[in-house]
Amino acid sequence: MAKKRIVICGEPVLRRQAKRVKNIDGRIIELLGDMVETMLENSGLGLAGPQVGESKTIIVVRPDPEQEDVLELINPRIVETEGEEEGLEGCLSLPTLRGTVIRPQRVVVEAVTPDGEEVVVEGEGLMARALVHEVDHLAGTLFIDRVEPDSLAWLRPDDRKESGYRLDPTTMEEALAAFERLRKRRSEA
């Protein structure tokens, strides 16, 4: 398995509708393993194919942020939602940006495992948020498309805060410009 490079906001692959997986072959299995490694190494809760430059309908999600158990889901689709809750979100493709997003409190997702088994996954709270966030990626939707604009902020280290971090408010325009500069620096490296 190999760590993959995470695609940054502004890359066209993040805005495309991902292609449905028709054949679960060794390449898909390997890609899922690489995504798990990449997600865990970056302390993420989830990762979608487009985030590693692969326009495929595959996601990996950690049901419990304290554990390294990971669900690997192929062709996931949300079949049921219930309730709603507001919460702070971030994304590995939008590093250090946070914002408040309203998501379902509970979801049911149908998908296929790497073994070809059809599964139904239920998630509540943070797990529901992670599942919907990752399935959104497959449709070319980012959390900033659903964010409450006045809630956008950069997560910055701050030793004076008990959490070790502070939130510095920003605007959508400032955030998008910052990601464009980051993408340009990465392409020049």
CA dist 144 and 98 (Å) reads 9
How confident is the model at residue 64, as a pLDDT?
Answer: 84
- Domains of the chain, CATH where assigned: 12-183 (3.90.45.10)
CA dist 31 and 49 (Å) reads 8
The H-assigned helical ranges of the chain are: 26-41, 126-138, 172-188
How confident is the model at residue 163, as a pLDDT?
Answer: 86
pLDDT digits (tens, 9 = 90+) for 133-156: 999 999 999 999 999 999 999 999
How confident is the model at residue 1, as a pLDDT?
Answer: 64
CA dist 131 and 60 (Å) reads 9
78 membership: H or E segment, kind and range: strand 71-82
How confident is the model at residue 71, as a pLDDT?
Answer: 97
Among 54, 72, 89, 134, the one annotated catalytic: 134
Q: Secondary structure of the chain: what % helix, strand, coil (to 5)?
A: 30, 35, 35
Task: Verify whether residue 89 is a known catalytic residue.
Answer: no
How confident is the model at residue 2, as a pLDDT?
Answer: 76
Mark the ranges of the chain whose per-residue pLDDT is less than 70. 1
